[in-house]
Structure 1
Amino acid sequence: MYTYYPVYYYPVFRQEHSVHWTPTSVELNRKLRTLWEQHVFWTRLTVNSIVDGLGDVDQTAARLLRNPQDFAEVLAPIYGSGIANEFEKLLNEHLTIAAELVTALKAGNTSAAEDAQKRWYANADDIAQFFARINPYWSKEEWQRMMYEHLRLLSEEVATRLAKDYTTNVALSDSIEQQALEMADMMTTGIVQQFPMVFQA
């Protein structure tokens, strides 16, 4: 599998602040954890369907592409529809580029895979920049690090599926799920810190 890992140096990460957990903040965390788990779950199923040429690829991919819309529905009451729709677009790009990458790798099209992977990481940069712009408690560097780890793990998942290394492929799911939950928790913490009055009760 072609690998393209831009190298960034992270000298400082934003200081963590404690969050007072209330029923409303716990509910937000529950929603975001569910969405990130669905994100990696349906990504896995879509990858499997593309690689193995399964008949459910269109239906599975369509369900995966509902994930950005579901994120937008959670974010819209907090940030407004404009920002929510912007994130939906970025996350949709993240998923469609991933599908392009898997398809190119399966076909052995190295140049197309290289192009898709570069655009995948550029999209991750855009997501990190977007988060840093809308929330002062989210840093670009932290989100860049998280998104790059997300892409690295998904790349390994694709590579092992293509290689029919099913033992490693299945084992990767635990790390992918845990990392997704960490992103959900980071999102929750930043939102609660930014809008403490909304999450008092």
Structure 2
Amino acid sequence: MEWTPSKVELNRKLRSLWEQQVYWTRLTVNSIVDGLKDEKETTERLLRNPDDFAAVLAPLYGTAVAAEFAKLLRGHLTIAAELVKALKAGNSKAAADAQKRWYANADAIAAFLSRINPHWSEAEWRQMLHEHLRLLSNEVATRIAGNYAENVASSDRIEQQALEMADVMTRGIVQQFPSAFLR
């Protein structure tokens, strides 16, 4: 793929959004697990990210499609917070329920993305999103256990994987809307 300035800008925006997603998720997890006073504010900032994604997607896909993606992504985040709280409280039944819904939400996101863009594979997105959930689950578990070295290493893996998702998203958008990225 030849990198025109408009392609570079799209990739920059998507990479920034995915990095913000994992950054604010990490801060929210830390706030929940450690009972920090900034939990409310940090969570509110995290929940702004789906709308930021929608703002990038709306010019290409329309506001209704962008809003649906934001809704699915917001669900991913709120279920994750439920899961962290259940794990912290040692409530295995609530944690299992949240985890089941979390994976179902990931599958719904993968299906949605493949419906709106023929260059996005549902199977590829499902694999990436499940890997994201696996990595985030490890990050949460290591934080709760106080294994901070592994927790930081896990965060690094999540960031790298999120950037890969941004690149897949960029390639698919450019393939679907080539005339929008000629310059």
| TM, length-normalised to structure 1 | 0.90
Q: Which residue of 1 aligns with 2:8?
A: 26
Residue 51 of structure 1 aligns to which amino acid in structure 2? V
Question: CA deviation digits over 1:163-190, x for unaligned, max 9?
Answer: 0000100111211110000000000000
- Secondary structure of the corresponding residue to residue 111 of structure 1: helix
Aligned partner of 1:142 in structure 2 is 124
* Structural mapping, 1:107-126, within 5 Å: 107-126=89-108
Residue number in structure 2 paired with 1:80? 62
Identity of aligned residues (%): 72
Q: Which of 60, 85, 101 is the equivalent residue of 2:42?
A: 60
Instruction: Report the Cα distance in structure 2 between the residues aligned to 1:56 and 1:141, rounded to whole angstroms.
Output: 37
Give 5+ residue unaligned stretches, structure 2. none
The alignment partner of 1:21 has SS state of coil
The CA deviation string for residues 23-58 of structure 1, in whole angstroms up to 9 with x for no partner, is: 001100000000000000000000000000000000
State the number of aligned residues.
Answer: 183
Q: Which runs of 5+ in 1 are unaligned?
A: 1-18
| Equivalent residue, structure 2, for 1:39 | 21
SS of residue paired to 2:77: helix
| Match for residue 69 of structure 1 among 30, 51, 61 | 51
- What's the counterpart of residue 178 of structure 1? 160
The letter of the residue matching 1:63 is R
Displacement of 1:20 in angstroms is 2.2
Give 1:59 deviation, angstroms.
0.2
Taking structure 2 as the reference length, the TM-score comes to 0.99
Q: Structure 1 residue 63: deviation in Å?
A: 0.3
Q: Secondary structure at the match of 1:136?
A: coil
Match of 2:143 in 1: 161
Q: Offset of 1:21 from its aligned partner?
A: 1.4
- Over the aligned positions, Cα root-mean-square deviation in angstroms equals 0.5
Structure 1 residue ranges, 4+ long, deviating more than 6 angstroms after superposition = none
- SS of aligned partner of 2:10: helix
